[in-house]
Each structure stands twice: as C-alpha cells, then as structure tokens.
C-alpha cells in the first residue's frame, strides 16, 4: 500500500533547561539546537527509516528548503511539498527538562496556508483508492482533507495531535486507523478510564484505535479485541518525537504486512530508541538499528 503523508513541517528550536519556565520568570538555558521537526515531518522520516515508500505533501517557506533536502536524502517523494515565498516555515519552541519531558510552543506558519484547492489538486495527482493517507492535526484544511480522502476511497490514518476542539467535529467515522496518546484520548472522549477506548471504537466503528501510553506501552482496540503491548525499556533522554516515531513505524509495518500486532511491536521498539537520543527527527532509528 502506497503512503501519502499530508502533514506539517517545522523548524524546532530546542532548549535544554533544568526546569520549565514559569510565568514572570526569565530562565537561562543549558543548550540550544535548531533541528528538523513537525509531527508530519517526523512521521515521514520514521516511515522512510522503516523502509516504506512515502510521499510528503505540505507547505514550507524558503527558509525550510533544507528540510525538503533532508526528506529527499531519505528518498521521500516531495513533488507535492510546496514552497511559498510569503509565509515562513512553521516552527516550534521546545523546552526539554532533566527527565526528558518537554513543553512545546507551536507556530503554524506555512503549515496553516494549505487551502482546500491544494488538497483537491494533490489528492487527485498523488493518491489512488486504497492508498494510505497519513494525517496529523498541525495543518489547515483538515476537515476537507478527511472528507475528500474518504470520497476517494483512501485509507485514512489519523494522529489527531495536537488535539484541538475542532477534532470533535472531524468525520472520524471515515478513519481506518486512529493513533493518539492518553491525554488526547481523554480530551476527545471526556473519559480518563478504560471506557475511553470503547467510546472511540463506537465513534470510529471501522477503525483500528491505538492508544499510546508512554512508558506503559500501547493499547489497541480492533473490533471486539483489545491488545496491550508493553513498552521497550529505554534510558530516557528526550521524549520529543517518540509518538511520531511509533506512528511512522506502525504505519510502515501495517501497510507492508497488515499485521497489527507486529506493527505495534515495531512501533514500540523504534520509540524506545527515539527517547534515548536528543531531538525529534534526528533521533529516529533505521530498521537496521532495530536489528530487522
């Protein structure tokens, strides 16, 4: 199954801090790095490193050409990654604390300049019925993307991150795979217990619903069956991009073999390596590094 990722690309400004800055405080940082990122970008990198053939559609400014080059070096098809002269590439300001946890401030930039016309043209040119379309929630035109993809018979994989109120109104009944973390699950369903997965299964009756639980691994609901997979042990340095790594490796294996249990396990193994390194995209392993 071919994979088209229609997703965000960001420049990540990453600051190592001994605690997260609080209101009224000016906080010196321990280090600064400018790194490639964006949930869409990270997931495309993960797909490519997991051995999948992937196209990335989206929008950057001229300040983001180096990010397009990064994808092309991984053999990602960037035919539908548009470069605009007017709006800069999206960016994120990321604090990473001593335990590897982070806070992220996002500025959408060019990611928010994707119009419904762009969606129509790109889906027409780049996707055929049965292909997988991977989406996050960091670009504009999301409702139109989901409904157009459903009309075209695409297999929609949605990672609704970052969660916003608008997600509640997305046509989630068309989604084939829904991947979200515990907080996003609670925000979407209003439930913090085990019934959250039941609620999502009702809302997306055709979907494989995957809930990522950090150091507790993942839970997956598929029809009447619920599977839990433990996390792989890791020394946590920086959790940024761990969910994206899981998603990319999961989708690569699911589209390759259709084996959901194997895809969950591969996603967990890859995420464990990601958290042991600094950065988002740059910390995503290859299949070789996972011994596959």
Q: Quick check: 209 and 250 in contact, CB under 8 A? A: no
Neighbours of 93 (CB within 10 A): 13
* Residue 240 interacting with ligand RIB (CB under 6 A): yes
Smallest distance from ligand RIB to CB 167, Å: 16
Instruction: Rank residues 172 and 274 by Cβ distance to ligand RIB and give the closer one.
Output: 274
- The CA distance from 54 to 71, in Å, is 10
Residue of 63, 69, 244, 288 marked catalytic: 244
Kindly write down the DSSP assignment for every residue of 269-287, as one continuous string: HHHHHHHTSSSSGGGPPPT
Smallest distance from ligand RIB to CB 223, Å: 29
Clarify whether 244 is annotated catalytic.
yes
Site size toward ligand RIB, by CB under 6 A: 15
Q: Which of 92, 105, 101 minimizes the C-alpha distance to 237?
A: 101
Torsion 95-193-181-266 (CA) sign: positive
**Phi/psi of residue 186, nearest 5 degrees:** -65, -40
Instruction: Rank residues 138 and 253 by Cβ distance to ligand RIB and give the closer one.
Output: 138
Q: Quick check: 52 and 268 in contact, CB under 8 A? A: no
- For helices 116-126 and 142-151, angle between their N-to-C axes, nearest 10 degrees: 30
By CB under 6 A, the residues from 19 to 78 that bind ligand RIB are 37-39, 42
Which of 12, 118, 131, 184 forms a contact with ligand RIB (CB under 6 A)? 12
* Residue 104 interacting with ligand RIB (CB under 6 A): yes
Smallest distance from ligand RIB to CB 58, Å: 12
* Residue 155 interacting with ligand RIB (CB under 6 A): no
DSSP 3-state of 74: coil
* Residue 135 interacting with ligand RIB (CB under 6 A): no
By CB under 6 A, the residues from 246 to 285 that bind ligand RIB are 280
* Residues in contact with ligand RIB by the rule CB under 6 A: 10, 12, 37-39, 42, 92, 104, 106, 138, 240-241, 243-244, 280
The residues that are catalytic are: 244
């Amino acid at each position: 199954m071919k994979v088209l990722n229609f997703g965000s690309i960001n420049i990540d400004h990453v600051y190592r801090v001994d605690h997260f800055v609080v209101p009224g405080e000016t906080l010196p940082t321990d280090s600064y790095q400018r790194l490639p990122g964006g949930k869409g970008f990270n997931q495309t990198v993960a797909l490519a490193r997991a051995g999948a053939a992937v196209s990335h559609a989206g929008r950057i400014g001229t300040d983001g050409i180096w990010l397009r080059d990064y994808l092309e070096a991984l053999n990602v098809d960037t035919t539908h990654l548009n470069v605009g002269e007017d709006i800069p590439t999206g960016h994120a300001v990321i604090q990473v604390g001593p335990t590897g946890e982070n806070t992220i401030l996002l500025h959408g930039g060019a990611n928010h300049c994707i119009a419904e016309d762009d969606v129509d043209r790109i889906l027409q040119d780049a996707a055929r019925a049965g292909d997988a379309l991977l989406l996050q929630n960091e670009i504009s035109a999301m409702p139109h993307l989901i409904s157009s993809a459903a009309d075209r018979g695409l297999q929609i994989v949605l990672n609704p991150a970052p969660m916003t109120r608008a997600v509640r109104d997305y046509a989630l009944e068309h989604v084939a795979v829904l991947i979200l973390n515990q907080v996003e699950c609670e925000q979407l369903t209003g439930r913090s217990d085990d019934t959250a997965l039941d609620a999502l299964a009702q809302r997306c009756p055709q979907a494989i619903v995957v809930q990522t639980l950090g150091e507790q691994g993942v839970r997956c609901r598929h029809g009447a069956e619920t599977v839990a997979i433990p996390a792989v042990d890791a020394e946590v340095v920086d959790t940024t991009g761990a969910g994206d790594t899981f998603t990319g490796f999961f989708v690569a294996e699911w589209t390759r073999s259709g084996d959901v249990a194997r895809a969950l396990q591969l996603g967990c193994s890859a995420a464990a390596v990601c958290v042991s390194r600094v950065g988002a995209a740059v910390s995503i392993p290859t299949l070789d590094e996972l011994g596959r």
